[in-house]
Every structure is written in C-alpha cells, then in structure tokens.
Structure 1
Amino acid sequence: MKYQSKKKALILLADGTIFYGKAVGNNEGSAFGEVCFNTGMTGYQEIFTDPSYFGQIMVTTNAHIGNYGVKEGEEESDTVKIAGLVCKNFSYVPSRKGMTDSLEEFLDRNGLFAISDVDTRALVSYIRDHGAMNAVISTETDKIDELKKKLAEYPKMEGLELASRVSTKEPYFVGEPDATYKIAALDLGIKKNILRNLAKRDCYIKVFPFDSSFEEMKAFEPDGYFLSNGPGDPEPLSNAIEVAKKIMEEDQPLFGICLGHQIVALAQGISTFKMYNGHRGINHPVINHLTGKGEITSQNHGFAIDRKETEANSDIEITHTHLNDQTVMGIRHKSKNCFSVQYHPEAGPGPNDATYLFDQFIENIKQRKLETV
C-alpha cells in the first residue's frame, strides 16, 4: 500500500470539530459511533474484537498500529466489534513470529472502516477536555453538511441497550463436561478469555443468551453464576437485573465483571452514570482495600456505579477503588455470596495482577458446596 494512493478521510465530532487523515487500504464510506480512546501499547486485536466496544469508534493513542499483524486465537470474539478505527501510523508491512495475517487484511475481512494519519494526540486531548461524544469517520470529505445531519440523528450511548446485539442467540458450552464445577454465565458480551480462565480452573460453563431467565439458568444446576462484561448502558437491562436479584436471594455464588458489576449494583438499588470519559487501557491503577495492595489493571467502560449510593448501602462493601479518580472498581455483598469488579481480571489484553479474582470465585463456590453437604 503506497502512501500516495491513500484516500483523504476525516473524523467529524458531534460538536462539529473535524480532524483530517487518510483512509486505511482501499476502504471508502463512513462509520458512526461514540468516539473513545485506548491507551494500551499492545493488544489491538483483542481490543478490536472485545464485545464491550460494540458501537464505538476506537482511537488508539499508541503511534503505531498493525506492526505485529494478527494471530489466530488472540481474538476475544468471533468478529470485530468496534464501529471504526482511528490511528496515527498504520503499519502495512507487519513482522511477528507466528502471525497469521496483516491487520489490514484482518480489518478488510471483517468489513471494518479505518482511517490513519490523524493527529491522535490532538484528538485525544480534545476528547479528554470535551468528553465522550458521537462521531463519524468518512472518506466523503466533500459532504460535511450531510454527515453532520446524519451524525445528529445517531443515537447516543446513554440509555442505549446493546447487549442484545452481541450476546449469543443460543446457549453453548465451554470446558470439559466432567469438570468439578458447573458455571451458568449470562452473556451480555462475554470475552473468550473470561471463559478460558474459568475452564482452566476446572469449570464447565454453559453460556446463556442475555435475555435468559433465572429459572432457565438454574435448570443447569450450576455451582455458581457469572454476569459478563458487555457494551452500552446497563440500566435498560431489566432482565439481567432481575436475574442478579434472584441469584442473590438464593445466596448462590455470583461473580460479575464490568457490565456484570454494574448489573449487580443496580440489583442492590445502586444507580449508574455515564462517565465524562471512560476508562480504556491496560495501565489503570486500582487499590484493593481488602489486602492493601495495588493492582495495574485492564479496563474498558464508559459507565460506573455511584460511589455515594454505594457507601450509603449497608449491605454493600467497596473492595476496590480507582486511584486516578476514586471511582468504585469493586464491591461485595456483606451477607450474600456475591462480588464484582469494574475492570477486566482476564487480562485480554493487559496485566495479570487481578487474575486471583477467578480463584476467589472458585473458593466461594467450594465454601458454598461445603455448607450444603
């Protein structure tokens, strides 16, 4: 791909601000979504296929994207989930032992529109100052007014239910059927590495569609329940909230990650809010109040739970806090077998500081089994 042949492109923000760049490859057209940025230096394949990013235009702060290609087995879902990609330098000639494709070919195969040669430092700085907003990336640089009109009509992330767009349509199984533990997982946009972490801890997982009832999940006779990550606003997910309530009413082992964490909070009467700018990266510092230890974590969320309401809830204890802005990163129920975290302990991509949380879930299941013998 020669630089001279790149087609002119732009990113237009909802407030009318425009940044110019070039189309990646031979792509033409437009893509709409909420613009956000990720500060990770590596892991773009996992990020682009993470269902939690559904409906978002991803700006990568790392200056070079694509230089190590892609590798089969490192994706977090079966398809690319971001709405579009914006980067500074796109590498058309990747080099990596074991890679199975270039990023350009990977994006073309998945039908993802991307633009490069954008001043991403200026763009990210602008987003940080003005907050998350909808945007469009396009090669139709001569149709600004038409793009503005379409962008004004594009739905905002707040109040948007997206779990149904990424959840499985039919239940499926992961792991060995003769495993020691059975887990019923509600798929709100589950990542493959979460399932891998559970399976390697001797779990047999049945993954249920987002709108499954508690009774359907209970019929599997699981030893524990899991509420997954996922995209969009948590408050419209009334069924998932009801499922969480019933699991806690029966005091069954329950673990929630990210969107699942927000569902646990909503089931306890704690509200959520849209963040001015979400947390997206693999370098977020978190303090564990139970151990006093710090953790470097992988995060991806644009919503959070209300801290004051959490502190006022006598049934809930805050277990983890983000050290940059003091948002709630983890909670546990004081009298029920339930805990959740706002970040991603499965580290796909990211550090492994928090993988112990899967072990904690298994220990909770073991304790529950001993109590019911």
Structure 2
Amino acid sequence: MQLTDQHPLVAHATRDSRLIRASLGERPDLTPVWFMRQAGRSLPEYRALRATQSMLDACRDPALVSEITLQPVRRHGVDAAIFFSDIVVPLVLAGLDVQIEAGRGPVFAEPVRTARDVARVTAIDPELVRERAEPIADAVTRTTLLLADESATRGEPIPLIGFAGAPFTLAAYLVEGGPSKDHLRARRLIHEDPAAWEALTGWLAAVSGVFLQVQVAAGASSVQLFDSWAGSLAPAVYRSAALPASRAALEYVRALRLPTGAGMSHVPLAHFGVGTGDLLADIATLDLDVVGIDHRVSLDEAVARLATAVTVQGNLDPALLFAPPHVLDAALDRILAEGRAARAHIVNLGHGVPPETDPDVLTRLVRRVHERPDAA
C-alpha cells in the first residue's frame, strides 16, 4: 500500500515533530512527552461526553473520537495525540461478541478455549476489519485535520499515534473470556494445544495488523503495539508463543510505502508491555524504533538489556502522580537523566493514566519536561 503526499507526515509536516524525530533517534530541542491513556478517564470533559454512550459505541463515533483524542492535547500541551479507541475494537469489527463492563473490562460472550473454538474464530477473514473500519478511518482523518489546526496555533507539528493490542494480549482476553490475574487458561492452551494457539495468535496478528494499517493509511504518523499481559510469560515461552505474532502484526505497517516527500523510510514502530523487564532483549529483536519501559525497570538498565540502538519511552510510575510536587519533580529529573543512556527518550508513564489523576498534575508535568532543554 502506497501512502500519498497528502499523508500528515508530509502534508502536515509531522515528520518534523518532536515525537517522530525522537522515535527515529534524534534528540530534538525538547524531550517529547505524552501519556498512555491521556485521552479519557482522568478528564472531566471526557466524562461529560461519555455520560450517555458505551465505550464501544463511543469508539465508533468519528466526531466523538476526534474530540476525545484532542482533549489532552489542548489541556496538557503534550507532543502527540494517541488515538482514542480500545484494543478490542478490531475484534468487534471482525464480528466477535464482546462488551466492555464498567469496572471489569472486555468480556467475551463465547470464550475461545478449544481447537474447535479457535477454528470458529479463525474462519473469519481478517480483511473484514478493513471493510468495516470506515468509522475508524473517518475518525483518524478528522483528528489529523484538527491536529493540523492545533499545530498551526502552537507552531509545532503534533502527530497522531495509532495503536493496536498485541496478539498475545488479545488472545489472553479471548481465551480467558475477560480480564484475568494470571492468564492461566491462555498459558494452558499454549502448552496443551500449540497448533491451536499458533493459529489463534496468527489470526490475531492479521486482525491487529489490518487495524494498524487502516489507522496509518488514514493519517496516523506512528503506531504502538500494546502487549499488556506479556509479562505473565517466561522469556522462553514469550519467544515461542508471543513474539512471532507480534512481529507478524508489525509487518503490516512495515509493508506501507511512504511517499518520497516524507524524507524517511518507514512509519515509526513502538512497543509497550507491562512487566516485560525480563523480555526486553527479546522485544529488541522486533526491530523497533521505540520501546516503552514500565516503571519496574530503570531506563538505563532497560537500555543495557535492550543492547541495541533504540529510543526508550517512559517510565514514570503512575503512583507518583499522587505524590507531593517535590517528590514527583525528583522522580522526573531522575528519569530524564536515565533516559540519556538511550539514543533518544520520550517521556511517558510506566503504564496508563489512573482515572483518579488530577489533570493539573499532568499539565504541570508536561510544562516541567518542556522547561528542560534536551541538550546533547
């Protein structure tokens, strides 16, 4: 698939944004900063918009998605927008029966636990996601146009980050039927029926890959693959049962051809996983531009474990958002110092923004990052 010169990387100069430059290994004048789950639960304006709609309905309302995605950009002054959606949206587009229950998360009406269940699900053509993704593409395009307006006001390009769930995390939800503390059923299937597991994660790689392609084709300037539950796997199991499918999902983005005017060879690829400190050397083999680090590993230690030239992202403990300002400031200063060990650094949290967070704390945090020139 060929992207055109109308893509925001060219038309809106997002290739020159702090986020994209840092993703590709440069150190811009200021360290870029954005927050996972910045678009959503912590913002009162978000809660007011969502008062009458379910999460999955909201994710398929282009005008609403655009507004929610832009809210933290306007309020906090972050350097990038993250597309407002949910990792199960492509599964909804594929026709699976899933609901997001308040206080619990995604719940599937028919869990996938046997070879027969896997055969039923994988019989669905992943291209259905593309065919049914018009609301997603519309939302991305609307959002990038609004970001262009915001960029003109700010005098700095603001890119949109697309995202999808990694195949292992999606498989864990499908097999468990919903959230789980230990993902025992998913880990059991890996060992009980490796062929069924491989078929399921291969199908999910295509579903996530198509979902990422849709977002980039419509205007996203980079993508991030979220593997929320990969940390439940031992390294050897991760290498055999999760890594191949993540690689396959990312190949869908690698296959996109950028226009000559983009001045870069590919759409930047990022990966974030929770509890993946012991997996970083394996994650590095995905040939990523950015690796997100959770709060359990220091950035300088993560760089050593990655042992490759890659930009690191993170990794402020979300709990510190509730600490006294001087404690938060000291932690941020430490993280900025640790980030010097990598070729470039993008400030973020070590997980998502908690819903109880005071939005003013995030705004102040962004301002403090931007007050610290990233002199090489």
Q: Do they superpose with TM above 0.5?
A: no
Q: Which has the larger Rg? A: 1
Q: What's the TM-score once normalised by structure 1's chain length?
A: 0.29
* Structure with the higher strand share, 1 or 2: 1
Q: What's the TM-score once normalised by structure 2's chain length?
A: 0.29
* Structure with the higher helix share, 1 or 2: 2
